[in-house]
Amino acid sequence: MRLNAYLARAGVASRRKADDLIKAGRVTVNGELGQLNTFVESRDRVEVDGTRVAKQPLAYLLLNKPGATVTTASDPQGRPTVVQLVPGEPRVVPVGRLDADTTGALLLTNDGELAHRLAHPRYGVDKTYVVELSRAPSDDQIEQLAAGVELDDGPTAPAQARRVTKNTIELTIHEGRNRQVKRMVEAIGHRVTRLHRSRYAGLSADDLEPGTWRELTADEVQRLRRGA
């Protein structure tokens, strides 16, 4: 396991911040200064600022994200974060992002390899949203969303889109661009008034109260690994 991934599994820092610790000379492996390309095995002794660290057990949590929470581990503006809603040990981080006002299924884990694969566009992980619009879209506009619309960073891939109620649609996408659903809706001349992610990679949190979480089952973890 690469050293930065080991530090992330130990709950020391994210991989990016672990790289900063390594470059600052604060990490040793078996008494030698760690490098960005250092690989760690189970028998190795890893220390940060002279204190030994060890990998934490892998954890996979599914959260029903409430509104008015940010999808980060900490927020400089002091807003509530999703990490504050789950246990502090073992340390987990969110997979991908949801806007502060977006609710629904959010996966948190310390399995860095799986998180990277789930977030990578190459693997086309399904993300299903229930989207409430400010006014009723036409059937043609819903078909536009399904076929793909032009955004400032290029056209979107084909999606699944269907009407749920007069002003509400269900949209399943396989990409992970910033604010993608809202931007797609704006591209057909509408505005999102409420956005809820009902499923992520086949997982639904709709049976959980907003702000609550559960651990994934072993079968669910295996399905995620096979899918990614």
Model confidence at 42, pLDDT cuts 50, 70, 90, reads confident
How far apart are the C-alpha atoms of 169 and 74, rounded to whole Å? 32
Same domain, 102 and 88: yes
Over residues 77-103, the pLDDT tens digits come to 999 999 999 998 888 889 988 999 999
Q: Output the six-digit token pair for 130.
A: 């229930």
Range of the domain at 160: 126-200
Q: For the domain that residue 24 is a member of, what is the CATH number?
A: 3.10.290.10
Over residues 92-145, the pLDDT tens digits come to 889 988 999 999 999 999 887 888 889 877 778 999 999 999 999 999 999 999
Q: Looking at the predicted structure, is the pLDDT value of residue 209 above 90?
A: yes
Q: C-alpha 9: how far from its chain's center? A: 17
Same domain, 133 and 191: yes
Same domain, 138 and 183: yes
Averaged over 163-183, what is the pLDDT? 95
Over residues 147-165, the pLDDT tens digits come to 999 999 999 999 999 999 9
Residue 203 pLDDT: 97
Same domain, 160 and 217: no
Same domain, 31 and 135: no
| Catalytic annotation present for 99 | yes
- Of the residues 19, 44, 75, 99, only one is catalytic, namely 99
Residues 138 and 189: beta-carbon distance below 8 Å: no
